[in-house]
Structure 1
């Protein structure tokens, strides 16, 4: 018996509704798979930085200015995210961001933590600590907060308590803007 014969044995309403139902199910599956946030590849820190980053991960806030923490996949103690739209992402232990080398990229000092900053090309900003034993980088999306630097104060205490300054530097005496 052919496929056409099997299809003709079905009642007419079933034959008419089956193709749109299959199309709708496929479309819903595709939309669901595309609607999630992209994965964040966790950095691979050295042993010393990894310890600092794990301590930082444990000290980070569960909520960031009203946005719940929703960590990216794959799960890692070196990445964290909060559900702003689009999300705010923190990474720890990555390579030194190149923008920290540019004097004109000096960012704010927030609650005793110095930051370098760079525009992300989409209206948001990237911030990175430069005087700590592990680099902490925060991606702040455009429009997620009243001021692009607002989230930094929520991270300052956790960074100060978890990631020490590089020997011979004194990040704690930076001037808050």
Structure 2
């Protein structure tokens, strides 16, 4: 069963200490995707995640962006793009930041002009998903990625 909640993102001082600086990406099909450069321990988590990611998300077939990397994945014509091991977004420090929960994975929501950007919270590395505007109010992509994230990227804190 898919679960979804929208709530303010409240991080404790301990959570903020665990989180590490800003990243961005684009879902524009003509844009190049910036491959993150996480520490080796986080890169190994991302490698495991890459192997567990589904072949289809929200009806979009897997089509990984260029340059090819175990730190990135995509579905459709860059409609949904995942980057693993991204730096901590600055908005994560904002107590008014919005968050969603999809099937047990918490995501900080940033509403951008070209579509939402969501970044996992309470995980040992940050996983970022950008989506085309048509997915702005659709939790399906996050729900379909949740099992792979839960299986390969351990939680850092117990979420209330």
Q: When the two structures are superposed, what TM-score results if normalisation uses the length of structure 1?
A: 0.70
Matched, 1:170 2:155: no
RMSD: 1.8
Q: Equivalent residue of 2:140, what SS?
A: coil
Kindly indicate whether structure 1 or structure 2 has the higher relative contact order, using CA contacts under 8 Å at least 6 residues apart: 2
Instruction: Give the gaps of 5 or more residues in structure 1.
Output: 1-35
Q: Equivalent residue of 1:107, what SS?
A: strand
Residue of structure 1 in register with 2:36 after alignment: 43
Instruction: Give the gaps of 5 or more residues in structure 2.
Output: 1-28
Residue of structure 1 in register with 2:49 after alignment: 56
Q: How does 1:74-113 map to 2 (within 5 A)?
A: 74-83=67-76, 87-113=79-105
Aligned length, in residue pairs: 133
Alpha carbons 2:106, 2:121 under 8 Å: kept: yes
Q: How far does residue 150 in structure 1 lie from its aligned partner after superposition?
A: 2.4
Matched, 1:72 2:65: yes
Q: Paired residue for 2:131, among 134, 140, 143?
A: 140
Q: Paired residue for 1:116, among 108, 111, 114?
A: 108
Q: How far does residue 146 in structure 1 lie from its aligned partner after superposition?
A: 7.6
- CA 1:146–1:46: 2 relative to 1, 3 Å: closer
Distance 1:44 1:170 in 2: 27
Residue of structure 2 in register with 1:158 after alignment: 148
Greater strand share, structure number: 2
Alpha carbons 2:116, 2:136 under 8 Å: kept: no
Alpha carbons 1:100, 1:106 under 8 Å: kept: no
- CA 1:119–1:109: 2 relative to 1, 3 Å: same
Q: When the two structures are superposed, what TM-score results if normalisation uses the length of structure 2?
A: 0.77
Alpha carbons 2:37, 2:85 under 8 Å: kept: yes
- CA 1:99–1:60: 2 relative to 1, 3 Å: same
